[in-house]
């Protein structure tokens, strides 16, 4: 009996063993193939990074080398600087450097990119490069040469020692070994070098990158947790006996805020969360995580309910400008209107459940930090007809209105906003009310007017 059983099982086990070996071999081959592809991608990104930083240095030099009155060459050089910087930023993002302190270098490249882009797109015939901007380029030329030299030193080590980036990635993940890797040491040296550069006068275009809204301009005195409790109960229309959990965020900073959490009256499992500024107790965000049912209301019905909600909560003169829909949820973008002009910096988004059109949340941080009573609106030098002549001849206009928006330099500009279609797509076109130039063009999926 055992002989018969062995005679049957032995070939079966042999086949299974061979199959397992073949499967294991194929799995190993596939794994090696993936590792090789990842290694090749890392190597390409690294060597391209070294090349583009070197070319960045060269393009800055080319821009400085031409005649100081050569506007077209300045524009061409700055465009190339922006392109090389963008390439370098893209390649850094492809390398496994997430756990390395390389943020100073990334910030430095971001500022170069912003500086070169903003400078190149302006009319250099009317506003040529200033002496300060030439001095900035000279410093960048010197600094980029040093960064390029140090990256090339790392590149030489990679080639000479045949260093694999997969090993570098593993070393980064193991913090105990990080100090023993020449590639990691090289990138640390680059970031340390960049961090030691003195601050440059990048001009207003780059300063706007880190131009954070300050709560210092908010009216009102710091509020207490009890104040937040009362405000949250009132806003959410809850009973006075409801339990509210208050948490303070960012204590000791000018961005200090409170988070209030409580149970919703619309379901035992549902909760409501609200964020308030500590100074003035202004509501930044509201979220009701109730379960949303199947869609039953359309955009117009939802918009009417949102309008009533905002008025009821004290947000007057708000106008919807955009609508997006995702399944059974809709999101409206609102801006405040002053003297018939839409104030785009004072913006909030409102989320609604399309089962009944009720508001389930909103985000109002931009509205809170940008709001100004009696904001100064410059007069329009062009009339509507003059601005309309600046539109594409194929543009089919659906509506027009005056809007105050921020341009690429973070300056507020009064515009004529035209909504309509061209090439079958909905757009908003903003025409400068002072000189007729196009300030911004935006594609919109669902127009709201």
**398 within 8 A of 318, measured Cβ to Cβ:** no
DSSP letter, residue 224: P
Closest CA to 272 of 358, 369, 368, 370: 358
| Residue 125 and residue 61 in one domain | yes
- 131 and 249 inside one domain: no
C-alpha closest to that of 37 among 98, 94, 90, 75 = 94
**Do 230 and 153 fall within a single domain?**
no
- Backbone angles phi and psi of 39, in degrees to 5: -60, -45
CATH number of the domain residue 331 falls in: 3.30.310
β-partners of residue 349 are: 333, 363
Per DSSP, 322 falls in state: E
Mean pLDDT check: name the lowest of 93-107, 143-157, 159-173, 176-190: 176-190
17 & 143 share domain:
yes
- pLDDT value at residue 319: 94
Burial 322-348 (b: 16+ CB within 10 A, else e): bbebeeebbbbbbbbbbeebbbbbbbb
Closest by alpha carbon to 352, among 325, 384, 329?
329
Final residue of a structural domain among 185, 207, 229: 207
Residue 402 within a domain:
yes
- Residue 256 above 90 pLDDT? no
pLDDT at 103: 79
> What pLDDT is attached to residue 155?
85
54 & 149 share domain: yes
Radius of gyration, alpha carbons of the chain: 30
Nearest to 369 by CA among 345, 344, 337, 404: 345
Q: Are residues 146 and 295 both part of a single domain?
A: no
Q: What is the mean pLDDT of the chain?
A: 83
- Residue partners of 286: CB distance under 8 A and separation at least 6: 235, 236, 272, 273, 274, 359, 361, 362
Per-residue model confidence (pLDDT) at position 178: 46
Q: Degrees (nearest 5) of the Cα angle 56, 190, 89?
A: 45
pLDDT given for residue 70 in this prediction? 85
Q: Are residues 250 and 328 in the same domain?
A: yes
| CA–CA separation, 154 and 251 (whole Å) | 42
Which uninterrupted H or E stretch holds 417? strand 412-422
Structural domain includes residue 307:
yes
How far is C-alpha 39 from the geometric centre of its chain's CA atoms? Answer: 29
Domain match, 53 and 169 both? yes
CA distance 55 to 59: 6
Let me know whether 180 and 226 are in one domain.
no
Verify that 95 and 40 share a domain, yes or no. Answer: yes
Band the pLDDT of 5: cuts 50, 70, 90.
Answer: low
Position 259 in a domain: yes
Domain ranges, residue 401: 384-447
Our CA dihedral for 191, 193, 194, 196, rounded to 10 degrees, sits at 120
- Asked if 381 and 387 count as a contact pair (C-beta separation under 8 A), the reply is no
Residue 54 and residue 25 in one domain? yes
Roughly what angle, to the nearest 10 degrees, separates helices 131-160 and 103-121? 140
Range with the lowest mean pLDDT among 11-15, 89-93, 255-259, 314-318?
11-15
Tally of domains within the chain = 3
Of 321, 345, 370, which closes a domain?
Answer: 370
Tens-place pLDDT, residues 314-360: 999 999 999 988 889 999 999 999 999 999 999 999 999 999 999 99
Same domain for 238 and 203? no
Pick from 160-164, 230-234, 302-306, 416-420: least confident: 160-164
Domain end, chosen from 207, 233, 264, is at 207
């Amino acid at each position: 009996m055992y002989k018969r059983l062995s005679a049957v099982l032995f070939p079966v086990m042999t086949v299974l063993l061979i199959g397992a070996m073949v499967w294991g071999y194929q799995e190993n081959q596939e794994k090696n193939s993936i590792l090789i592809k990842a290694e090749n991608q890392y190597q390409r990104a690294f060597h391209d990074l070294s090349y583009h930083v070197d070319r960045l240095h060269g393009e800055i030099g080319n821009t400085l080398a031409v005649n100081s009155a050569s506007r077209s060459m300045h524009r061409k050089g700055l465009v190339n600087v922006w392109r090389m910087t963008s390439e370098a930023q893209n390649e850094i993002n492809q390398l496994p450097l997430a756990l390395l302190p390389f943020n100073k270098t990334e910030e430095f490249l971001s500022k170069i990119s912003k500086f070169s882009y903003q400078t190149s797109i302006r009319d250099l015939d009317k506003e040529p490069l200033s002496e300060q901007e030439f001095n900035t380029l000279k410093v960048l030329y010197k600094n980029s040469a040093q960064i390029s030299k140090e990256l090339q030193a790392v590149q030489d080590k990679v080639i000479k020692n045949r260093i694999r980036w997969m090993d570098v990635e593993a070393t980064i993940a193991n913090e105990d070994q990080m100090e023993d890797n020449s590639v990691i040491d090289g990138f640390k040296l680059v970031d340390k070098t960049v961090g030691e550069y003195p601050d440059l006068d990048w001009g207003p275009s780059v300063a706007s990158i880190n131009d954070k809204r300050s709560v210092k301009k908010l009216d009102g005195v710091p509020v207490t947790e009890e104040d937040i409790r009362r405000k949250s109960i009132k806003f959410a229309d809850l009973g006075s006996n409801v339990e509210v959990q208050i948490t303070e965020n960012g204590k000791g900073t000018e961005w200090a805020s409170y988070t209030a959490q409580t149970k919703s009256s619309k379901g035992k499992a549902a909760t409501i969360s609200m964020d308030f500024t500590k100074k003035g107790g202004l509501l930044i965000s509201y979220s009701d995580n109730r379960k949303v049912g199947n869609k039953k209301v359309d955009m117009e019905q939802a918009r009417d309910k949102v309008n009533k909600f905002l008025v009821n909560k004290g947000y007057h003169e708000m106008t919807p400008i955009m609508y997006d829909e995702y399944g059974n949820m809709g999101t409206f973008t609102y801006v405040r209107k002053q003297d018939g002009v839409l104030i785009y910096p004072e913006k909030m988004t409102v989320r609604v459940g399309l089962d009944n059109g009720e508001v389930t949340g909103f985000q109002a941080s931009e509205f809170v930090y940008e709001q100004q009573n009696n904001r100064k609106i410059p007069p329009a030098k062009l009339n509507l007809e003059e601005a309309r002549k600046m539109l594409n001849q194929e543009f089919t206009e659906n509506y027009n209105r005056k809007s105050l928006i921020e341009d690429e330099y973070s300056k507020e500009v009064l515009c004529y906003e035209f909504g309509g279609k061209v090439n079958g797509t909905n757009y908003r076109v903003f025409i400068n009310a002072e000189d007729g130039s196009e300030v911004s063009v935006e594609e919109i999926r669902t127009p709201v007017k």
